[in-house]
């Protein structure tokens, strides 16, 4: 339900799965030979997943991680690698059964710091740039979750979980086996966990011999930093002079926290011990502070409106000398993320999605102009400065993430890492085609069509309408490890993926047309896209399916009662079935209030009443098409009973249905064997009804 930027989250989850395991993973086999040249679930889980590139202080080497999975052991492991900018070969720095993450260069470039587990506790370690002399630096009780060196190397900041103070301890006295939880306010659980602690920032004196833990400083008030659940160490930063820690936090709790998105950037002054809100009066999300190298500015990502988590993600700059704030992307009707300053503090590079692709852009602090650096059908999801060049993580629908060296003047790119080359060389990928069609109300809409690898235009193929989740956010060139277009195409389906109302990258007005209107224009956009593509002679209009997750699952449930016989099969994953129940079952109330217009009991609220009147469950009497429903028990955004009630309704209506239930998965499917089970069930169902 929330737009995601998951590189750091996924890397952390991969690491957590591996921490408790001692058996080494021998799964990054460069000699892996495939039995077929077509994508399969097992192949998806064989790819190495590249993440978190970090450029060395001298700008000559890139540190990064690669996660591999063992299906047999049902877990993953993340190792560290480096590659030089001057066409040097890749070097593997770690070989361990325990994942290494949050790996960064020490400011002097002589050491690499990273986190890994020791005796069940995540601690800070260091090693030489060649991977030698691995040494434990911290021994912090309870472990830590992230860290950064001060630029002068005198201190580090780190984050760790702190238990919430209990309000009802006396009730549990003498009841060590009692399992009941007593709540008296909201936000008692979030996404996939019960809220028993908060993440907080600490500062410790640093030396290469270890941390002086007895002098650790707890920064600010007892509220989450970084923001849960997707925020990482990028939300906390040192000033250039090592005297200030800037951190992102939403200093609200209970009902107030669940109704508001108002986070702020705070400065903690190490000398005075005082904390100051630097974005006071700015009411939306304010996150990811980045100081300029000269110490004169701080840039950050900012949303304007409280309660709207998919507002325009703006690039803002604070002049630390004058206090003036610069709205850098005021005339730029796009989002901005992955902010990086140039060494001379005159430019900022960032990434942004536009028309189904993420590109690299540059902001000139002097002229206030924005220039587009790259173009093409790809997703550049991060960008970092490496001398006069850029290092960027790039992916496409047919290419898992790899690192590229980008020329900032020409926009040209040279591939640096080839993590999955031997696998990709054995696979045939389907062609991706960009089309533009007219919507029912005359607007231009981008639609991606993905063809089977051995496409034959003289044949007729079943087609799948892909209903995007979010509901806001990009529909771009993502290489997804579950909703993967290439594996669908490899199973002889043509995929139709429309950038319907609500998708970002087409201006804020286009994105906002879905709020309060899930059932209206966006549904017509879906039907227009599949109707238009069904006119092609190579698509069998009698063998159409609709698939989607989260808000895409809502779309599937809604279309199941409003499709006029177009579709012969549906698949809904973690979808919203009953909007009135969803309003009171979920935890981020700001989302429901913004996207539904308010609670269902406000009878005079016309926007809300119109939204609830079109809840998918109110059209279940018209369901007549086979449907597969998938849901995870640990999904607290869209709770598991949404899937159960949809399945029960289908069975009671004598509609062919299956229900795939995961007791140990959340809003995603993160375990290898569960992922393969998901794919097998998905294709078995579609093949049964569409082939």
CA distances (Å), origin 328, targets 290, 367, 369, 509, 521: 14, 10, 8, 19, 32
Q: Is the pLDDT of residue 670 over 60?
A: yes
Query: Residue 20 above 70 pLDDT?
Result: no
Q: Is the pLDDT of residue 633 over 80?
A: yes
Instruction: Give which of 81, 35, 2, 139 is closest to 472, Cα–Cα.
Output: 2
The string of pLDDT tens digits covering residues 547-559 is 999 999 999 999 9
pLDDT given for residue 28 in this prediction: 52
Q: What is the pLDDT of residue 213?
A: 62
**Backbone angle region of 592, left / alpha / beta, with phi > 0 → left and psi within -120 to 50 → alpha:** alpha
Measuring CA to CA, how many Å separate 510 from each of 333, 334, 370, 443, 565? 11, 11, 22, 10, 29
Residue 438, classed as helix, strand or coil, is strand
Nearest to 615 by CA among 600, 635, 637: 600
Average pLDDT, the chain: 93
Q: pLDDT tens digit string along 135-157?
A: 999 999 999 999 999 999 999 99
d(CA 225, CA 538) in angstroms, rounded, equals 52
Residue 12 has pLDDT above 70, yes or no: no
Instruction: Round to whole Å and give the CA distance between 76 and 72.
Output: 11
Question: Quick check: helix, strand or coil at residue 204?
Answer: strand
Give 430-587+618-690's CATH code, choosing from 3.40.190.10, 3.40.50.2300, 3.40.50.1820, 2.30.42.10: 3.40.50.1820
pLDDT band of residue 25 (cuts 50, 70, 90) is: very low
In this predicted structure, the answer to whether residue 5 has a pLDDT above a threshold of 60 is: no
Residue whose pair of structure tokens reads 């086996």 in the numeric block: 177
Strand partners, 494: 463
Tens-place pLDDT, residues 422-439? 999 999 999 999 999 999
In this prediction, residues 592-601 reach a mean pLDDT of: 96
Q: Specify the pLDDT at position 29.
A: 53
**DSSP β-bridge partners for residue 432:** 450
Domain ranges for the chain, please list them. 1-111, 430-587+618-690
If residue 652 lies in a helix (H) or strand (E), which one and from where to where? helix 640-652
- Reply yes or no on whether the pLDDT at 88 is more than 80: no
CA pair distance 386, 336, nearest whole angstrom: 20
**Rounded to whole angstroms, how far apart are CA atoms 196 and 208?**
34
pLDDT over 60 (residue 17): no
Mean pLDDT of 262-283: 96
Cα-Cα end-to-end distance for the chain: 31
pLDDT, tens only, 365-378? 999 999 999 999 99
465-479 pLDDT, tens digit per residue, is 999 999 999 999 999
* Average pLDDT for 244-250: 97
**Closest by alpha carbon to 290, among 227, 345, 249?**
345
Phi (first) and psi of residue 485, to 5 degrees: -60, -35
Active-site annotation, residues: 550, 635, 667
Residue 26 has pLDDT above 60, yes or no: no
Q: What letter does residue 664 receive in the DSSP assignment?
A: T
Q: Is pLDDT above 60 for 584?
A: yes
Secondary structure element (H or E) that encloses residue 140, with its range: none
Q: Does the pLDDT at position 19 exceed 50?
A: no
237-266 burial: b if 16+ Cβ within 10 Å, else e: bbbbebbbbbbbbbbbbeeebbbbbbbbbb
- Provide the pLDDT confidence category of residue 119 given band limits of 50, 70 and 90: confident
- The distance from CA 233 to its chain's CA centroid, rounded to whole angstroms, is 15
- Confidence at 618, pLDDT banded by 50, 70, 90: very high
In angstroms, the Cα distances linking 518 to 18, 394, 481, 525, 526 are: 39, 31, 26, 11, 11
User: Is a pLDDT exceeding 80 seen at residue 15?
Assistant: no
The pTM for the full model equals 0.94
- Residue 22 has a pLDDT of 38
pLDDT above 80 for 298? yes
Taking the C-alpha atoms of 165, 170, 171 and 175 in order, what is their torsion angle to the nearest 10 degrees?
100
Q: Quick check: 9 pLDDT over 70?
A: no
Tokens encoding 497: 């993926």
Q: Is the pLDDT of residue 597 over 90?
A: yes
Q: Is the pLDDT of residue 13 over 60?
A: no
Q: Is the pLDDT of residue 207 over 80?
A: yes
Q: What is the pLDDT of residue 323?
A: 97
Helix (H, G, I), strand (E, B) or coil at 348: strand
What pLDDT, on a 0 to 100 scale, did the predictor assign at position 32?
Answer: 74
Region 237-249: mean pLDDT is: 97
């Amino acid at each position: 339900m929330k737009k995601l930027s998951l590189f750091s989250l996924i890397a952390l989850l991969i690491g957590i799965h591996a921490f408790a395991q001692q058996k080494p993973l021998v799964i990054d086999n460069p000699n892996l030979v495939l039995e077929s040249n077509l994508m399969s679930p097992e192949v998806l889980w064989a790819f190495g997943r590249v993440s978190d590139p970090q450029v060395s202080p001298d700008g000559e080497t890139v540190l990064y991680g690669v996660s591999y999975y063992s299906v047999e052991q049902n877990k993953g492991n993340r190792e560290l690698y480096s590659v030089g900018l001057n066409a040097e070969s890749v070097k593997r720095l770690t070989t361990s059964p325990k994942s290494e993450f949050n790996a960064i260069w020490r400011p002097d470039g002589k050491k690499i710091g990273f986190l890994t587990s020791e005796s069940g506790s995540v601690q800070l370690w260091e090693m030489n740039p060649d991977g030698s002399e691995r040494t434990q630096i911290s021994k912090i009780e309870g472990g830590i979750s992230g860290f950064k060196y001060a630029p002068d190397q005198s201190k580090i900041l780190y984050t760790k979980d702190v238990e919430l103070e209990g309000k009802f301890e006396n009730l549990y006295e003498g009841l060590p086996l009692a399992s009941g939880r007593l709540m008296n306010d909201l936000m008692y659980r979030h996404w996939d966990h019960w809220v028993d602690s908060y993440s907080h920032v600490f500062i410790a004196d640093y030396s290469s011999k270890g941390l002086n833990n007895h002098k650790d400083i707890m920064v600010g008030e007892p509220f989450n930093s970084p923001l849960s659940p997707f925020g990482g160490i990028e939300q906390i930063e040192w000033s250039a002079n090592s005297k200030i820690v800037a951190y992102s936090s939403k200093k609200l709790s209970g009902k107030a926290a669940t109704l508001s998105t108002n986070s702020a950037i705070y400065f903690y002054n190490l000398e005075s011990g005082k904390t100051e809100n630097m974005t006071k009066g700015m009411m939306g999300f304010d996150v990811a502070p980045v100081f300029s190298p000269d110490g004169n500015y701080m840039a950050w990502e900012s949303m304007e409106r409280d309660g709207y988590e998919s507002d325009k993600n703006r690039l803002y700059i604070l002049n630390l000398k004058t206090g003036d704030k610069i709205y850098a992307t005021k005339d730029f009707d796009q989002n901005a993320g992955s902010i990086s300053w140039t060494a001379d503090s005159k430019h900022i590079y960032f990434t942004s999605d536009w028309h189904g692709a993420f590109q690299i852009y540059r902001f000139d602090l002097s002229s206030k102009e924005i220039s587009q650096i790259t173009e093409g059908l790809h997703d550049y999801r991060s960008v970092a400065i490496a001398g006069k060049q850029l290092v960027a993580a790039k992916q496409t629908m047919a290419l898992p993430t790899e690192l590229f060296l980008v020329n900032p003047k020409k926009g040209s790119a040279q591939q640096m890492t080839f993590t999955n080359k031997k696998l990709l060389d054995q696979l045939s990928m389907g062609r991706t085609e960009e089309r533009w069609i007219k919507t029912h109300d005359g607007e231009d809409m981008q639609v991606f069509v993905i063809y089977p690898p051995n496409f034959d235009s003289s044949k007729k193929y079943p087609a799948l309408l892909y209903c995007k989740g979010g509901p806001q956010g990009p529909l771009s060139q993502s290489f997804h490890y579950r909703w993967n277009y290439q594996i669908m195409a490899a199973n002889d389906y043509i995929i139709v993926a429309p950038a319907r109302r609500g998708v970002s990258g087409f201006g804020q007005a286009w994105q906002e047309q879905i709020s309060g209107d899930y059932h209206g224009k966006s549904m017509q956009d879906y039907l227009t896209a599949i109707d238009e593509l069904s006119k092609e002679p190579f698509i069998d209009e009698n063998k159409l399916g609709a698939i989607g997750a989260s808000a895409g699952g809502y779309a599937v449930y809604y279309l199941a009662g409003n499709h006029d016989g177009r579709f012969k099969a549906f698949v809904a994953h973690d979808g919203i079935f009953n909007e009135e129940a969803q309003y009171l079952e979920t935890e981020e109330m700001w989302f429901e209030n913004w996207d539904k217009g308010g609670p269902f009991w406000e009878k005079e609220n016309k926007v809300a009443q119109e939204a609830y009147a079109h809840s998918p469950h109110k059209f279940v009497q018209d369901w007549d098409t086979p449907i597969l429903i998938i849901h995870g028990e640990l999904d607290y955004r869209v709770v598991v009973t949404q899937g159960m009630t949809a399945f029960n309704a289908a069975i009671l209506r004598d509609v062919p249905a299956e229900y795939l239930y995961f007791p140990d998965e959340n809003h995603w499917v993160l375990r290898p064997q569960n992922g393969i089970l998901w794919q097998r069930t998905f294709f078995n169902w579609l093949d049964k009804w569409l082939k």
